[in-house]
Structures are given as C-alpha cells and as structure tokens.
Structure 1
Amino acid sequence: MDIMTRLADWQICPPLIEHPPLFTCDDADRLLVERPGTRLKNLFLRDNYGRRHALLLTRSDKQVDLKALSRQVGWSRLGFASADRLQRYLGVEPGHVSVLALVNDSEQEVELWLDQELENGDDFHCHPLRNTATVLLSKVDLQAFTARTGHTPLWLPVPAP
C-alpha cells in the first residue's frame, strides 16, 4: 500500500522529505539530518503476556521508565515487542515504525499512547512505512489520521528514569 496515496485520499497531504535510511534517532543525529518540526521516538510495546500492544510516541531524546509506565497504565510488565509482532500488528520492520503504521492495524489491536510532552509540538516526524523518508504530520493531520484508523490517542505523562 502506498501510504501517501491513502493519506491524500483522506485529504491529508503532509510534506515528504527523502533521505538515506534511518533506523534509529541516533542515525539521524549521525547523518545530521535537519528537518523542521518535532522529532519522535516510536516504541512498540507489549504487556508481559503478549496480549496487549501499544505504540508509544515520545521525544526522540527521552529515556522511558517502562516499569513506572507499566504501573501507571495498569499493564503487567511492559517490554518491547518482537520484530514478528511488529510485522503482525503494524506491518512494518524494525526501524520503519511510526504512527502511520497504524493504518495496518485494521482490528485496532494496538493502543496509541502519546507523551504529554508532545502536546505543544507540531509537524511530527513520521516514517511513511519506510525509513528512507520522513513525513511532517501536523497535529491536525495526526488527529484526522487517527480518526480514520479508529485509534483514539491516550495522552499521558510518560515517566523517565
């Protein structure tokens, strides 16, 4: 699926910036990729039993205390989901994760968690299902996108260690 075509069909037309492959936030730092807007870290998480999944968006430079976050949301021990789970639920490989991958979660099996520290951000950096480009998704477009995919964002204070 071409995510840019899907977005355009939904009247969401964000700018697209092509670049070399970026698997992590550190890769962007090393390549000195400069883009306007809010850089994000995308963490695909699961509970201890693998029954619940969440995509957490936070600042690219933030360290997250998963134990504290687990207690906060009432899930049994949060951990990172495997590459297999990432492919099964979001249809992408590691290093290609962004909120736009929720387009592949038609069953709404993945919760969307947004760090409250992002509330004043805009032009969120999102991979368009591939890590060789970045979409600058405005807050309004993010809301329109999540409404279309059926994912209601949960804004929460994400604890740091």
Structure 2
Amino acid sequence: MERRQKVLDYLDRTGIPYEYYEHPEAPTIEIARQYWHDDGSKHCKNLFFRNHKGNRHYLVVFDCDRQLAIHDLEHRLRQGKLSFASEQRMERYLGLRPGSVSPFGLINDLENHVHLFLDQTLRDQPALSFHPNDNTATVVIRHGAFLQFLESCGNSYEFIELY
C-alpha cells in the first residue's frame, strides 16, 4: 500500500492525470487478466534486466500479449548478454519486488541509473496500464501523460522495435 500511495502521490504532485482501480493480488499477467477493466488501455509486460557486468540495468516494457526470447532481446537491444536482475537489484534500483515491476518504479531511481526500452507499438496505444508498484491495483494512464511521467523522472528511454 505504501508503494502504491507513493506513485499516486507522485502523479498527483506532478499534475499527471490517471485512472486507478484496486483488485486482488495479481503478480502475473495470467492472474491479472481476470481483474482488468475494459477501459481501452494496453496492458504491458515489464521485465527488469542487467548486463553481463552488472553495471547497467534495463527495464523493458512491451505488449502483454507478445512473447520475447532473451536471445532475441539481446540482439535487438545491443547491450551484450542480459540476465534477469536479482530481487536485491530490483529493490535497490526500482524500489520494487517481483510481481509488481512497472515504469512507475523509476520514481525510486533517483540517480537515473535504469534505462527504459519500450516497444514501438506502444506509441500507437491511446492509454497504457501498469501496476502502481503494488500488484493489488492498476493505473491507467493516457499516452501523453505517460510521456510526461517519463520526462518528469529523468531516466533515459527509447522506443524500439522489440519483435
């Protein structure tokens, strides 16, 4: 609840509009599907990676209905060998736990260490949906407001072709 409130407070403080609803715990896309509202937003899958040396971290966001192979992702991102970041790294850089990863974790990355890769197909979506750093709720945010959020965080990000 505290993590969720921090996101909602941040969005309110920065004047970023959003919609919000609560639901039972949903740590996976498969579980979350049963709670999603028919609101016209694209629900996203969010994966947190580290490079081979462990000195760079990447949040990868894409359409939840698509699948990505890590080998293909390594080729597309051109960041060398990737592996999933540990729970400790997730907590350190994004202030998150597994099952609640989302771009809203960037509010906890005060050093702007994490680079965000977003699939280019998300540009065409009128709204996106993410957990607000807590998997018992969903935030729906219009595309323009989401870009405003990213700018306010200050992390580097780019839209690329992931598949």
Provide TM-score, normalisation by structure 2: 0.91
CA distance in 1, matches of 2:36, 2:14: 29
Aligned CA RMSD, in angstroms, stands at 1.4
- Partner of residue 12 from structure 2, selected from 8, 15, 34: 8
TM-aligned CA deviation for residue 32 of structure 1? 5.0
Checking the alignment, whether the CA contact within 8 Å between 2:113 and 2:155 is kept in structure 1 is no
Matches within 5 A, 1:1-161: 2-29=6-33, 31-36=34-39, 37-159=41-163
Identity of aligned residues (%): 32
Unaligned ranges ≥5, structure 2: none
TM-aligned CA deviation for residue 152 of structure 1? 3.2
Checking the alignment, whether the CA contact within 8 Å between 2:46 and 2:59 is kept in structure 1 is yes
SS in structure 2 opposite 1:26?
Answer: helix
CA distance in 1, matches of 2:37, 2:147: 25
Tell me which stretches of 4 or more aligned residues in structure 1 moved more than 6 Å.
Answer: none
Question: How many residue pairs get matched?
Answer: 158
TM-aligned CA deviation for residue 66 of structure 1? 1.8
CA distance in 2, matches of 1:127, 1:33: 11
1:149 partner amino acid = C
Unaligned ranges ≥5, structure 1: none
TM-aligned CA deviation for residue 94 of structure 1? 0.5
